[in-house]
A and B are shown apart, each in its own frame.
Chain A
Amino acid sequence: MTPAGDGTARSTGSVGSAVRLRDVVKTYPPREKGGAPLTAVDGVSLDVAPGEIFGIIGYSGAGKSTLVRLVNALELATSGSIELDGRDVTGLRERELRGLRAGIGMIFQQFNLFSSKTVWGNVEFPLRAAGVPRQEHQRRISDLLHFVGLADKAHAYPDQLSGGQKQRVGIARALATEPRLLLADEATSALDPETTQEVLALLRRVNAELGVTIIVITHEMDVIKSLADRVAVMDRGRVVETGRTFDVFSQPREASTRRFVSTVVGGTPTAEERAVLAARHPGTLVAVQVAEGGVDQRQAFATFARHGLGFEIVHGGVHEVQGRTFGTLTLAVTGDGGAVQEALAELGGAATALEVR
């Protein structure tokens, strides 16, 4: 399926992962003489299963973009091993790496289309680079443009297209060589919410209909929510947490994951927000983590009611990931202080009283 350069990679037999990273490190030489080298990726190990959509999330500067560029060898790893479909690709020579890159699709935040080429010319570029016979170009490009819904724009130039159309051209271009792996680097971050949904739907089709494994890098909750089967959370060059998307978001284990999750899903109110909430609402502020399969809303509310407490939701919300809901709700609970304590104890770690200064 991948057209070029495959014969050159060594097989190590560890079939099972589409992408397998072990202790991958990427350091850049110091900017100034005598300075400390910059470690962008710090000992990352990951397995991406064939056919899944794998999310890599984290704040900007966490090393996500560098990590994904190590996968298609746009950047070369300083140490560690990178296997694609069981073939170790570290240590390949530049010419072999070109064949490798041709077999991996990539889309970008700023689309990075060739503005001097038409839509057709953009999609044809990887075919020429990979040396695909010319008589095949017509069929492949035409099929791809139909697939992304831009058959009528074949002779348009990128600056005549909207952002969403540009990214669809980007996707068609990335799929031209029929790759089994697609890397999406913040592919929807430059798009408005509606267009984002269109592009995400297209990526789901790429995954479901063409069976392409997708690695998505993003800091957007919507992208992860609607796409990713599993996620890895990156922080300062390291993967701090990996798991099923719902689990990572509903029950983040690491502090840095909790911090990230709370910024994208709107977790507990900040100290300033608490002060405002406490002034407007009587009672004790209580944060309740609700999640299907854990403490759900019904259970939480029933517990407060059983202890004779009144409550209102003053902050927070619920999210849906892979058909299951979770979220953090902040309640203002009124009633007997002892009863509040009992209710909190009953709910265990899911509910905590918030301090108000």
Chain B
Amino acid sequence: MQNLIDLQPQLWQAAFETVYIVALTLLFGGAGGLLLGLALYLTRPGALFAQRVVHGVLNVLVNVFRPIPFIIFLAAAQPLARLVIGSGSGNPAIVFTLSLAASFAISRIVEQNLLTVQPGVIEAARAAGAGPFRIIGTVVLPEALGPLLLGYTFVFVALVDMSAVAGYIGGGGLGNFALLYGYRQFEPVVTWGAVLLIIVLVQLVQFLGNHLARKALRR
């Protein structure tokens, strides 16, 4: 217990790094996933920009990358990280790789949630003379906002999970803290401290996500 109290500065630093990594990933990966998910949704047969071939290619792409376990993806994508951001290690590298991996996962969540929008509502918008971009921006996305917010909340929790392996490529965060100061030092109390903090963090974000989604759904 005393150890955990002594390690407080490192614990708070680690918590800050987790929030920082996850928040940036949510921003970049979230945007990438939104675009990819929209593309999947819009190119489906019968959709606003139905393109069988494009949809097929995107589908295969997502199916190839999404199932790769993140720790393997992290290693495999290291040269790419080095190429794009100039370094294959540290927090920027983990944000880059995590964003990339998350884009594929998020795209499916986005696609699924957009599919909950009633086709009749889109037809009503078309019947009113609206063009496809107006329909996407003012009908499809607002209609799916509630489920999308819940989806992104789910993603946040998944990202906290994924970010825990950041230590393998020299990144920080609570996962790294728990391994470094808890597991390897045989200090279970320190590990539990990190676990507790993650639970609190996840609870807070889930609460916020539920609240926003409820507002969007007005229930």
A116 lies within 8 A of B128 (CB):
no
Q: Which chain A residue shows the least CB distance to B129? A: A102
Decide if the interface of chain B is mainly helix, strand, loop or mixed.
Answer: helix
* Cβ contacts B133-162/A at 8 Å (1 or 0 each): 010001100110100000000000000000
**Which B residues between 83 and 109 are near A, CB-CB below 8 angstroms?**
none
* Cβ contacts A93-119/B at 8 Å (1 or 0 each): 001001111111010101011111100
The size of the chain B interface, using a CB distance under 8 A, is: 20
Would you give the shortest CB distance from A333 to chain B, in whole angstroms?
51
* Cα(A126)–Cα(B142), bound, Å: 16
* Cα(A102)–Cα(B124), bound, Å: 11
Q: Is B121 an interface residue (CB 8 A)?
A: yes
Q: Which chain B residue shows the least CB distance to A98? A: B129
B128 lies within 8 A of A173 (CB):
yes
Q: Is B23 an interface residue (CB 8 A)?
A: no
Q: Which chain A residue shows the least CB distance to B124? A: A112
Would you give the shortest CB distance from A60 to chain B, in whole angstroms?
16
Top 5 nearest A-B pairs (CB, nearest first) are: A102-B129, A126-B128, A112-B124, A116-B142, A129-B130
Q: Is A264 an interface residue (CB 8 A)?
A: no
**Which A residues between 114 and 144 are near B, CB-CB below 8 angstroms?**
114-117, 125-126, 128-130
Whether A112 contacts B121 in the complex (CB less than 8 A), given A117-B142, A157-B218, A159-B218, comes out as yes
Q: Which chain A residue shows the least CB distance to B146? A: A116
Would you give the shortest CB distance from A126 to chain B, in whole angstroms?
4
A110 lies within 8 A of B118 (CB):
yes
Would you give the shortest CB distance from A285 to chain B, in whole angstroms?
46
* Interface residues of A, Cβ cutoff 8 Å to B: 4-5, 72, 74, 95, 98-104, 106, 108, 110, 112-117, 125-126, 128-130, 157, 159, 173, 176-177
Q: Is B72 an interface residue (CB 8 A)?
A: no
* Cα(A125)–Cα(B138), bound, Å: 9
* Cα(A72)–Cα(B118), bound, Å: 20
Q: Cβ of A113: which chain B residues have Cβ within 8 Å of it?
A: 121, 124
Would you give the shortest CB distance from B203 to chain A, in whole angstroms?
28
B124 lies within 8 A of A129 (CB):
no
Complex partner residue of A101 from B128, B138, B139, CB under 8 angstroms: B128
Whether A102 contacts B128 in the complex (CB less than 8 A), given A114-B143, A116-B143, A129-B134, comes out as yes
A-B contact pairs, 16 of them (CB 8 A): A4-B129, A72-B127, A98-B129, A98-B131, A101-B128, A102-B128, A106-B124, A112-B118, A112-B123, A114-B142, A114-B143, A125-B130, A125-B139, A126-B129, A129-B129, A173-B124
Would you give the shortest CB distance from A221 to chain B, in whole angstroms?
25
**Additional pairs, 8, CB under 8 Å, beyond known A115-B143, A129-B130:** A5-B129, A74-B127, A98-B129, A113-B121, A114-B125, A114-B142, A128-B138, A159-B218
* Interface residues of B, Cβ cutoff 8 Å to A: 118, 120-121, 123-131, 134, 138-139, 142-143, 145, 216, 218
B120 lies within 8 A of A108 (CB):
yes
Would you give the shortest CB distance from B107 to chain A, in whole angstroms?
22
A74 lies within 8 A of B142 (CB):
no
Q: Which chain A residue shows the least CB distance to B127? A: A106
A125 lies within 8 A of B123 (CB):
no
* Cα(A113)–Cα(B129), bound, Å: 15
Would you give the shortest CB distance from A10 to chain B, in whole angstroms?
19
Would you give the shortest CB distance from B160 to chain A, in whole angstroms?
29
Whether A125 contacts B128 in the complex (CB less than 8 A), given A116-B145, A117-B142, A157-B218, comes out as yes
* Cα(A203)–Cα(B131), bound, Å: 28
Q: Cβ of B139: which chain A residues have Cβ within 8 Å of it?
A: 114, 125
A101 lies within 8 A of B218 (CB):
no
* Cα(A177)–Cα(B130), bound, Å: 12
* Cα(A148)–Cα(B41), bound, Å: 36
B123 lies within 8 A of A74 (CB):
yes
Q: Cβ of A110: which chain B residues have Cβ within 8 Å of it?
A: 118, 120
A114 lies within 8 A of B129 (CB):
no
B120 lies within 8 A of A129 (CB):
no
